[in-house]
């Protein structure tokens, strides 16, 4: 945040100060810009920004006062880095419809508690985006804080392979709109529903890959001192890649399959050091959060991740309350309708341990031997598929080369035939025009 003070000097008299030309130091005479302070901004970045503002202000005052006392300007610098006196609300940013002007709506692809999501093409760049629009007016309501929290979290997190990418946000008619990356595979909840319908379930390898990729996304979120607090299948998005490339991502940070899982819906994100917790879906809620014990919130994300993987395995729908709900919070693993290796269910059971400190962190999960083995197996499988595709391409290229050679040979044969026919035609034409053929000979007699 930068504050600017403008002084007007006319014939040596300052209109906003005294005759010395020095402006008043009353902070009330300066009007702070109307902007928001992102509560998720790392403290180190805030310190750097404050230091930069202080140095810039000192330099400006030094040039303005030509060596006058700087203590007053130092005090003013301290005032300039304070939060603004006004906060920008959704009503303050109403304008001509940016949504209708910049985007062409293709279809509605989702609806939830916050609002609806639309698949849109941006008219300028021709790319597809997901635009989330709130259902009801937000200004002055609790929902406004949740919407702003999601925008703040997206802006701070930036870009990561396993977090839905954020582009921009704005308001229209008191409704919040958020422009995010479009994930062409829908949500994990959509896949789970379809699997129930067709009676097809994730294999153990697929479940391990899901767990590993989402753990990588959580590792990144936790590294910024933030926690998600609402991990569940409907908040995990799928991006299906049409081109298989094993070496596109590093082993520690990227996927090894043609499906990339991304964490989205950051409306419940909060800081670790100063948590403002709003409870998410009770089916995936850790017991310590319900008891308002916020000392180890990152392990609550791990608890929810384990139950998300269990839901994807084809298990029965998780309970919202009752005895089964409490059994899970006591460390009892729900029944999984498929045969798994002994190590994987043990890992999932550890992730829902009643003691949060006993659960593994997201960072340790990304290095867990059970998941890394699955990652290597998946990479090997992709290499086999890639080699098969290369072999098919080689065969097709060989057939194409043969076809091209046959075409050239046929064209040459036709060309040779045309040349022979032309030559014979010319020869017959010449023989028919020999001098004296079928003509009467004249006889000349000379008498001496």
Annotation-wise, does 109 bind a ligand? yes
Annotation-wise, does 293 bind a ligand? no
The b/e string for 30-40 (b: 16+ C-beta within 10 A; e otherwise) is: bebeeeeebeb
Annotation-wise, does 265 bind a ligand? yes
Annotation-wise, does 8 bind a ligand? no
Annotation-wise, does 292 bind a ligand? no
Of 230, 252, 293, 355, the catalytic one is 230
* Number of Cβ within a 10 Å radius of residue 209: 22
CA dihedral 54, 60, 63, 65 (to 10 degrees): -80
What is the full DSSP assignment across 157-172?
Answer: H--BTTB--EEEEEEE
CB 236 within 8 A of CB 188: yes
Helix (H, G, I), strand (E, B) or coil at 426: helix
* Number of Cβ within a 10 Å radius of residue 311: 20
Annotation-wise, does 202 bind a ligand? no
Distance CA 102, CA 394 (A): 44
Q: Which long-range contacts (CB under 8 A, 24 or more apart) does 95-98 make?
A: 95/170, 95/172, 97/172, 98/170, 98/172, 98/177
Q: Is residue 230 among the annotated active site residues?
A: yes
Distance CA 256, CA 356 (A): 30
Distance CA 149, CA 139 (A): 14
List, in order, residues 6 or more apart from 408 with CB less than 8 Å away: none
Distance CA 102, CA 178 (A): 13
Annotation-wise, does 117 bind a ligand? yes
- Helices and strands (H, E) in the chain, number of each type: 12, 11
CB 316 within 8 A of CB 249: no
List, in order, residues 6 or more apart from 365 with CB less than 8 Å away: 211, 212, 215, 219, 302, 371
Distance CA 324, CA 332 (A): 9
Residue ranges at the known binding site: 109-117, 132, 235, 265
Instruction: Specify binding-site residues for Mg(2+).
Output: 235, 265
Annotated binding-site residues for ATP read 109-117, 132
Residues marked as catalytic: 230
């Amino acid at each position: 945040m930068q504050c600017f003070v403008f002084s007007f000097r006319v014939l040596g008299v300052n209109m906003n100060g005294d005759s010395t030309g020095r402006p008043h130091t009353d902070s009330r005479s300066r009007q702070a810009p109307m902007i928001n302070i992102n509560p998720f901004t790392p403290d180190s970045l805030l310190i750097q920004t404050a230091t930069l503002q202080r140095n810039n202000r000192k330099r400006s005052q030094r040039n303005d006062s030509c060596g006058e006392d700087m203590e007053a300007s130092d005090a003013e610098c301290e005032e300039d880095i304070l939060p603004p006196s006004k906060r920008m609300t959704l009503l303050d940013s109403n304008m001509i419809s940016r949504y209708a002007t910049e985007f062409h709506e293709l279809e509605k692809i989702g609806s939830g508690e916050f609002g609806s999501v639309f698949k849109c093409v941006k008219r300028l760049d021709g790319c597809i985006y997901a635009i989330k629009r709130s259902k009801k007016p937000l200004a002055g309501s609790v929902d406004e804080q949740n919407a702003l929290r999601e925008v703040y979290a997206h802006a701070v997190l930036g870009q990561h392979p396993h977090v839905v990418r954020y582009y921009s946000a704005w308001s229209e008619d008191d409704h919040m709109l958020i422009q995010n990356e479009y994930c062409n595979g829908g949500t994990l909840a959509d896949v789970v529903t379809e699997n129930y319908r067709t009676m097809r379930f994730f294999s153990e390898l697929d479940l391990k890959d899901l767990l590993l990729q989402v753990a990588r996304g959580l590792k990144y979120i936790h590294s910024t001192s933030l926690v998600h607090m609402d991990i569940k299948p409907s908040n995990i998005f799928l991006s299906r890649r049409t081109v298989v490339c094993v070496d596109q991502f590093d082993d520690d940070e990227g996927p090894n399959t043609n499906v990339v899982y991304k964490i989205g819906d950051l409306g419940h994100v909060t800081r670790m050091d100063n948590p403002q917790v709003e409870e998410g879906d009770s089916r995936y809620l850790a017991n310590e959060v319900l008891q308002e014990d916020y000392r180890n919130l990152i392990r609550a994300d791990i608890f929810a991740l384990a139950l998300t993987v269990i839901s994807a395995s084809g298990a029965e729908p998780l309970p919202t309350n009752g005895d089964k709900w409490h059994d899970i919070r006591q460390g009892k693993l729900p029944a999984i309708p498929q045969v798994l290796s002994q190590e994987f269910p043990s890992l999932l059971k550890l992730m829902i341990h009643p003691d949060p400190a006993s659960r593994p962190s997201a960072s340790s999960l990304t290095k867990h031997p059970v998941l890394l083995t699955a990652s290597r197996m998946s990479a090997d499988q992709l290499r086999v598929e890639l080699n098969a595709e290369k072999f098919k391409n080689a065969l097709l290229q060989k057939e194409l080369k043969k076809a091209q050679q046959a075409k050239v040979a046929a064209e040459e044969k036709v060309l040779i035939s045309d040349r022979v026919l032309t030559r014979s035609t010319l020869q017959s034409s010449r023989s028919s025009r020999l001098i004296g053929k079928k003509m009467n000979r004249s006889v000349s007699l000379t008498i001496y």
